[in-house]
Amino acid sequence: MVVNGALRTFNQASRSGTVARALVGESWGQASTTEALTDERLERLLSDATKMAKATAKYARKKIDLSGVVPIQKRVSQKVKEDPAHVPTEDKLEFVMELDKAQRVDDRIVNMNSVYMDAKRVNRLVNTVGTRLEWDELRIRSIVNPVAREGDRMQYEHDSVSGLKGFEMIRTLDASEFASKPAHGAIELLSASKAPSGNLKVVMDGDLAGVVAHEVCGHASEADEVVKGRSFLTDMVGKRVGSKLVSMVDDGTLDGKYGTIPFDSEGTPTSRTMIIDKGVYAGYLHTIETAALMGVSPTGNGRAQDYNRRVFARMTNTFFDKGDWSDEEIISDTKDGIYVVKSRSGMEDVVGGGVQVTALKGYIIKNGEMTELVRSMALTGKVLDILATVDAVGKDLSFSAGTCGKGEEDWAPVTSGGPHMRAEMIVGGG
Amino acid sequence: MTLTDIAGRLMDGSEKEGASQAEAFVISTKTSSVYIDDDIPKIVDAKEETGVGLKFILGNQIGFTSSTLLSESVEDVVRRAKSMARMSSADPKFRSLPDPKKPTVPFDHFFDEQTANADSSLLIEKAMDVVKAAKSDSMSVPNGVLRASSVEFQVQNSLGVDAGSKSTMIFGFFTAKTGDADSVGEGVQRCWSRRLQDIDFPAVGEKLRNQASDVLKAKAFKENWKDAVAVLAPSEGSEMLGMLVGFCTSAENVNHRRSSWTDKVGDSIADKSLTVVDNGLSELGLLSAAVDDEGVPMQTTSIIEKGVLKSYLFDSYNAAQVDLESTGNGLRRDSRDAQGAFTSPTRCSPTTLEIPAGTKSVDEIVSEVDRGVYVEHFAWPQVDPLSGAFSNEMRNAQLIENGELTTKIRYSLLVGNLFEAIGRELMIGSDLEVNSNYAMPTIALNGIEIVGQ
């Protein structure tokens, strides 16, 4: 990480561990260690996991039948054009320094933050079904975050590029444009007005639409929340949940996306799941356990942060599918509203069916034209009300990468995305 | 091999490889967890993790690397750290690693034997105490986690620091659900402590049940109230205020001029009722330790006293830039998750931010409010620490009218600016509570907007 022209952190980490997981009835026991592997230690891990599962099984009310799990033996090595491990460190440092330099667009930029990281995760998995798997996941990410200051007023912008890719992603990036654009954005935000508050017609960019997809229906479609009836989308398959323009997908197979995985943490190959099809709810995201309980095939969504963490149903690349409006048509068709750009964060409400999404900035729309720039706001509302009001969906998809937590922890790399979309939501300008 | 032995080998290796300075951080953690799923214990786990972080310095070039030492040796780690330092560009702001100083408390002062020995069966018992107190025919506990961790670390550096600490921590998170397809209510409760025996688990369950029942009764708020008072429960207010104060007082942010409180020591930045202390030796604090994560003794630092900014928080790197001493705020550990602390170098962060308890109960505060809202739970209490702006969805909230709690509301936002809000008259409650690395009571903010549908 380079801050204000100086290399602030320069790290390389190597982290390895082993976990054993055992199922008794419907109870899981799990034991993990970072100690060196010996036969004795492996036996101890398996024995500890089994003992814990057995001790917990007295509370079990049912048995999970995993006999339908299909064994796979495979070794998958990710193909990249340029493996970051073979890229000279000087090239990586030069790239980050270029990002730093490109953010210096104005004296009012007082703080430039530029990050480059690459990570290789090697997974080996064996289970009693007969699966023997080894695969790797190679991810690259770069972030810029300039801060502008004028008197006591401060604003920031950010941008990032990420992917399940090699260093070729960085070689083909216009570093100068990538880093200078948010710097200009931060300067503009210094004179932005406070966003309006109330129930408004909102045009979301693809980034915002992606966070809404992820938070609104993504988390509530994770089947572990469905089998216990916690999700507001329980028993909704076949029912209308939005206007006919709304379709939503989770797809772990998309080439090069940050949330793409060959296999989930249980060894199930990743897949494409239709969640909402033209406004009608279509399906859930499964682990091997939830699939067995609901009598369907697992979808490859059983993910764990690492060897220290539990496996449960998680998203991969989740997005609203495209429609047929151009972005300009959506804006020009909006008489009064707000065009909201760039997400900051999101929080789901699996039980209540609400949502909170925060955005960095927006533009007031008046008579089909973007007018005043406004800063920092939150969007909320009842999900089914919001999706019912979607009346325009763009034809161009865009994706943003991030790290998703569930229950405030258990972080997993994901992508969310969508086209420009228009809906009614509560807006609160901070 | 003990942690001191591993640290010693890393230091010896670094010296042999020609480091001008080096710092070895070695940490060992043990955690037992139980996950509640639909009223029963569903997953029980036990994890052990040992990791090292090595800072290798050649003049002003700094390399950092970390490892779990499962698939490589201490020598491999030293060689990699050296190679990182060689490739690194010089950091002209780096002066030196910290000098040794004697800690003021013993290394195991914050360690509790009973908590460290809590196994899965004890945790199941405690978690089920929450479930039993919350559950009824119409109420379930769909999700929960309870975990107990013991943490031991040792830091050595080439200036003679050889210090460590040993501590324990508990974290719990539970949700309750009630209602039917037409209307549902959810309660959310977290519990944090250094000692398992200090948490009243049945009381957590009762609060969870009451919260879910309250949310079930909530109605969509359809108005827009300006200039209202927001009374924030400790879990919510401390998250917002802690985020703002922690960011603005970190010397890393001050030195990079991204803190709004840069050059403001001695200035009045808040109402005179606000006093905030960073207490690395807090008896309640989950990050409390004899030394910080670069071996500097933890201490108590007054940050805001009666509304006046008194000091920033320093690690050794940022303190040296302004010719001051570290305040023991070089941290890698996290108040929620014991694992993984070795993977990154220290950052300049708060330890436990404390606001002393006031004299008013929550009822007394509410009775003094003409028009406002009492918030028990936000979707995610956030604030932009650069501008102070916040706009948070309220998930469990109740209107206050003429000194009385009235309608329970949902689908609404609390909007304002926290820099401005702490400059107006504040009310501080008497109900001090630990949440994450904050020990703060209920706080009431003036001049806030409530936005409904």
Q: Do residues A413 and A266 both lie within one domain? A: yes
In this structure, the answer to whether residues A376 and A410 fall within a common structural domain is yes
**The length of chain B, given as a count of residues:** 453
Residues sharing a CB contact under 8 Å with residue B348, sequence separation 6 or more, in sequence order: B250, B251, B252, B313, B314, B315, B317, B318, B329, B330, B331
Whether residues B97 and B205 share a domain: the answer is: yes
Regarding whether B334 and B403 lie in a shared domain, the answer is no
The CATH number covering residue A158 comes to 3.30.2290.10
Residues B445 and B346 in one domain: no
Angle (CA) B163-B165-B170 rounded to 5° is 165
Q: CB distance A29–B417 less than 8 Å?
A: no
Q: Do B186 and A352 touch (CB under 8 A)?
A: yes
Q: Based on the structure, what is the number of domains in chain A? A: 3
Contact between residue B270 and residue B312 where contact means Cβ atoms under 8 Å apart: no
Residue A73, classed as helix, strand or coil, is: strand
Task: Give me the residue from A16, A59, A375 closest to B68, CB to CB.
Answer: A16
DSSP structure class, residue B39? T
Annotate B35-54 with DSSP letters as a single string. Answer: EEETTEEEEEEEEEEEEEEE
Query: Which residues are within 8 A (CB) of B298 and not within 5 positions of it... i.e. 6 or more apart?
Result: B103, B104, B105, B280, B281, B288, B289, B290, B291, B292, B328, B351
Q: Are residues A40 and A92 in the same domain?
A: no
Q: State yes or no: pLDDT of B102 exceeds 90.
A: yes
Q: Which of A224, A427, A430 sits opposite B416 (nearest CB)?
A: A430
How far is Cα B200 from Cα B147, in angstroms, rounded to an integer? 15
Token pair, residue B423, equals: 């400059």
**Location of structure tokens 């994560």:** B293
The 8-class DSSP code of residue A108 comes to T
Distance (Å, whole) CA B23 – CA B66: 12
Of B354, B381, B410, which residue sits at a domain end?
B354
Average pLDDT, chain A: 96
Closest by CA to A304, choosing from A187, A428, A404, is A404
Task: Kindly state whether residues A184 and A198 are assigned to the same domain.
Answer: no
- The answer to whether residues B223 and A426 touch, using CB atoms and an 8 Å cutoff, is no
- The answer to whether the CB of A146 falls within 8 A of the CB of A182 is yes
Q: Is residue A108, in this structure, part of any structural domain at all?
A: yes
Q: Are residues B116 and B142 in the same domain?
A: yes
Assign B410 a pLDDT band (cuts: 50, 70, 90). confident
How much of chain B, in percent, has pLDDT values that exceed 90? 96
Q: Token pair 């933050």 is at which residue?
A: A113
- How many angstroms separate the CA atoms of A154 and B442, rounded? 28
Q: Percent of chain B, pLDDT > 70?
A: 100
Q: Which residue's structure tokens are 């309980």?
A: A293
Do A12 and B336 make contact, defined as CB atoms within 8 angstroms?
no
Tokens of B151: 């943490």
Instruction: Mark which of A191, A220, A249 sits at the end of a domain.
Output: A191
147-206 of B, contacting A, C-beta below 8 A: 173, 175, 177, 184-186
Tell me, yes or no, whether B118 and B255 share the same domain.
Answer: no
Instruction: Judge if B226 and B201 occupy the same domain.
Output: no
Q: Does B161 lie in the same domain as B81?
A: yes
CB–CB of B150/B166 below 8 Å? yes
| pLDDT tens per residue, range B31-65 | 999 999 999 999 999 999 999 999 999 999 999 99
Same domain, B371 and B344: no
Residue of B nearest to A308 (CA): B47
pLDDT for A37 equals 87
User: Which residues does chain A have with pLDDT short of 70?
Assistant: none
Asked if A69 contacts A298 with a C-beta cutoff of 8 angstroms, the reply is: yes
- Co-location of B31 and B129 in the same domain: yes
In tens, the pLDDT along B210-219 reads 999 999 999 9
B108 in contact with A, Cβ within 8 Å: no
Q: Which of A155, A151, A182 is nearest to B386 (CA)?
A: A155
- Residues contacting residue B263 through CB under 8 Å, at least 6 positions apart: none
- The answer to whether residues A230 and A350 touch, using CB atoms and an 8 Å cutoff, is yes
Flag whether A9 is in a domain: no
Look up the domain containing A164 and give its range.
76-191
Sign of CA dihedral B78, B80, B85, B86: positive
Task: Give the CATH number for residue B212.
Answer: 3.30.2290.10
Band (pLDDT 50/70/90 cuts) for residue B298 is: very high
* 3-state SS, residue A65: coil
**Which regions of B59-128 does DSSP assign to beta strands (E)?**
61-67
| Same-domain pairing of A180 and A227 | no
Residues of B in contact with A59 (CB under 8 A): 40-41
In a domain, A344, yes or no: yes
Q: How many domains does chain B have?
A: 3
Give yes or no: residues A297 and A390 share one domain: yes
Residue-wise DSSP of B223-292? -EEEEEEEEE-HHHHHHHHHHHHHHHHBHHHHHTT-STTTT-TTSB-S-TT--EEEETT-SS-SS--SB-
Instruction: Please indicate whether, in this complex, the C-beta atoms of B384 and A430 are within 8 angstroms of each other.
Output: yes
Does B321 contact A at CB distance below 8 Å?
no
Q: Give yes or no: residues A387 and A357 share one domain.
A: yes
Domain assignment present for residue A12? The answer is: no
**Residue A76 at interface with chain B, using a CB cutoff of 8 Å:** no
The Cα A172–Cα A382 span in angstroms is 41
Do B120 and B10 have their domain in common?
yes
> Which residue has tokens 């533009």?
A363
Give residue for tokens 């139980």. B34
At a CB cut-off of 8 Å and minimum separation 6, what does A344 contact? A358, A359, A360, A376, B384
Query: What is the rounded distance in angstroms from the CA atom of residue A175 to the CA atom of residue B412?
Result: 40
CA distance A281 to A291: 17
| Cβ-Cβ contacts under 8 Å, A155 against chain B | 386-387
Does residue B287 share a domain with residue B189?
no
| Same-domain pairing of A141 and A199 | no
B247 in the same domain as B147: no
Q: Which domain holds residue B442?
A: 219-237+356-451
State which H helix or E strand residue A332 sits in. helix A327-332
A125 and A185 belong to one structural domain:
yes
- The rounded distance, in Å, linking the Cα atoms of A275 and A278 is 10
Measured from the Cβ of residue B160, the count of other Cβ atoms closer than 10 Å reads 13
* Measured distance CA(B97)–CA(A35) in Å, rounded: 30
CB of B68 closer than 8 Å to CB of B54? no
- Determine the average pLDDT of the residues in B259-267: 97
Q: What is the mean pLDDT of residues B231-255?
A: 97
Q: What is the 3-state secondary structure (H, E, C) of B388-429?
A: CEEEEEEEEEEEEECCEEEEEEECEEEEEEHHHHHHCCCEEE
Whole-number pLDDT of residue A23:
97
> SS3 sequence, A371-406?
EEEEEEEEEEEEHHHHHHCCCEEECCCEEEEEEEEE
Rg of chain A taking only CA atoms, in angstroms: 23
How far is it, in rounded angstroms, from Cα A345 to Cα B382? 9
- Statement to judge: residues A157 and A238 lie in one domain: no
| Integer angstrom CA distances of residue B366 from A375, B373, B400 | 32, 9, 7
Rounded to a whole number of angstroms, the distance from the CA of B341 to the nearest CA of chain A is: 12
Q: How far apart are CA B362 and CA B368, in angstroms?
A: 10
Whole-angstrom Cα Rg for chain B: 24
What tens digit of pLDDT does each residue of B339-368 get?
999 999 999 999 999 999 999 999 999 999
The Cα B259–Cα B244 span in angstroms is 10
Contacts with B175 from chain A: Cβ below 8 Å: 230, 351
* Option in B46, B70, B142 nearest A34 (CB): B70
And the tokens for B421?
């809000």
Clarify whether residues A281 and A162 are in a common domain: no
Whether the predicted pLDDT of B183 surpasses 90: no
In terms of domains, do A94 and A165 share one?
yes
**Average pLDDT of chain B, as a whole number:** 96
Q: What is the C-alpha to C-alpha distance for residues B44 and B121, in angstroms, rounded to an integer?
A: 9
Q: What is the mean pLDDT of residues B367-396?
A: 95
> B 337-396 residues with CB below 8 A of A?
337, 339-340, 343-345, 379-380, 382, 384, 386-387, 389-393, 395
User: In chain A, which residues have their Cβ closer than 8 Å to the Cβ of B93?
Assistant: 6
Can you tell me the distance from the alpha carbon of B153 to that of B26, in angstroms, rounded to the nearest whole number?
6
Q: What pLDDT, on a 0 to 100 scale, did the predictor assign at position A364?
A: 98
**How far is residue A183's CA from residue A375's CA, in Å, rounded to a whole number?**
15
CA atoms within 13 A on the CB side of B103: 25
**Cα–Cα distance, A28 to A36 (Å, whole number):** 24
